[in-house]
Amino acid sequence: AQKVTQAQTEISVVEKEDVTLDCVYETRDTTYYLFWYKQPPSGELVFLIRRNSFDEQNEISGRYSWNFQKSTSSFNFTITASQVVDSAVYFCALSEAQGYSTLTFGKGTMLLVSP
């Protein structure tokens, strides 16, 4: 069975600090996909990134970067120079290749960025 663990329940930082959100996953499949979603207070989940299991290259998008390490089954998310607008709950999710895009989510990490 697949599982996603986000051990950090809540993180508080001051604006402009860098912050890393951890994600550890479990799956028996060799082909799978990992995702990060952001959920602001409005409730709507916003897609951030999708990564397949064969692509271990790190990715950077503006202030966001992702570190995928198959050896440790981790897919961590770093926000550089955090801003108040980054305050939200962030979810890591896993989809197995045979799962028709259905997602298994972690419990989420609430990020609070104060001015």
Partner 1 sequence: DAGVTQSPTHLIKTRGQQVTLRCSPKSGHDTVSWYQQALGQGPQFIFQYYEEEERQRGNFPDRFSGHQFPNYSSELNVNALLLGDSALYLCASSWGQGIYEQYFGPGTRLTVT
The contact pattern for partner 1, residues 14-33, with x = CB under 8 A and - = no contact, is: -------------------x
| Encoded tokens for 44 | 């709507």
Which of 17/22 has CB closer to partner 1? 22
Q: Tell me the C-alpha distance between 19 and 10, whole Å.
A: 12
- For 55, other C-beta atoms within 10 Å of its C-beta total 12
Strand pairing class (109-114; 10-14) = parallel
Q: Tell me the C-alpha distance between 73 and 77, whole Å.
A: 13
Which of 82/104 has CB closer to partner 1? 104
Number of residues that bind partner 1 (CB under 8 A): 26
Given the rule CB under 8 A, which of 22-30, 62-70, 72-80, 106-114 is the region that contacts partner 1?
A: 106-114
* From 101, 111, 112, 115, residue interacting with partner 1 (rule: CB under 8 A): 101
**H/E segment holding residue 51:** strand 46-52
Least distance from C-beta 7 to partner 1, angstroms?
A: 13
Q: What is the maximum alpha-carbon separation in the chain?
A: 44
Q: Rounded to the nearest 5°, which phi and psi values hold at 16?
A: 85, -10
Q: Is 3 in the site for partner 1 (CB under 8 A)?
A: no
Residues lying near partner 1 in the complex (CB under 8 A) are found at 4, 33, 35, 37, 42-47, 50, 52, 91, 93, 95, 97, 99-108
